[in-house]
Amino acid sequence: MNYTKSILVVINVLLLLMGCSTQKNMSFEEYIDMANASVEKGDIDKGVYFYKKAEGVRPNDAAPHLALGKLYNQIWEKSYDEAYATYKDKLRSGVKSSLDLNEELKKYGLKYQYKDMALSEYQEVVRIEPGNLDARNYIALYYLNSKQYANAIKEYNSILQYDNKSSLVYWHLADAYLRAGDYNHAIKNIENAYKIEKKFDYYQYRLGEVNFKMKNYKKAFQILSTLRSEKSIYYDRLIDYKISCGM
Q: Is 212 a domain residue? A: yes
pLDDT reported for residue 167: 96
Cβ-contact 136, 155 below 8 angstroms:
yes
- Characterize 178-209 residue by residue with b for buried, 16 or more Cβ atoms within 10 angstroms of its Cβ, and e for exposed: bebebbeebbebbebbbeeeeeebbbbbbbbb
pLDDT reported for residue 24: 65
Q: Is 154 a domain residue? A: no
Q: Is 210 a domain residue? A: yes
Helix (H) or strand (E) holding 221: helix 217-229
Q: Is 245 a domain residue? A: yes
pLDDT reported for residue 100: 84
pLDDT reported for residue 25: 84
pLDDT reported for residue 5: 45
Q: Is 238 a domain residue? A: yes
pLDDT reported for residue 173: 98
Q: Is 12 a domain residue? A: no
From first to last of its 247 residues, what are the pLDDT tens digits of the chain? 444 444 544 444 444 444 444 336 899 999 999 999 999 999 999 999 999 999 999 999 999 999 999 999 999 999 999 999 999 999 999 888 877 888 899 999 999 999 999 999 999 999 999 999 999 999 999 999 999 999 999 999 999 999 999 999 999 999 999 999 999 999 999 999 999 999 999 999 999 999 999 999 999 999 999 999 999 999 999 999 999 887 7
Q: Is 244 a domain residue? A: yes
Largest CA distance in the chain: 95
Q: In terms of residue numbers, what domain contains 244?
A: 201-247
Q: How far from 178 is each of 170, 175, 214, CA to CA, in Å?
A: 12, 5, 10
pTM to 2 decimal places:
0.83
Rounded Cα gap, residues 204 and 238, in angstroms: 10
- Which residues, 6+ apart, have CB-to-CB distance to 210 below 8 Å? 178, 183, 186, 187, 190
Q: Is 211 a domain residue? A: yes
Cβ-contact 126, 136 below 8 angstroms:
yes
Rounded Cα gap, residues 247 and 245, in angstroms: 6
Count of domains for the chain: 1
pLDDT reported for residue 170: 98
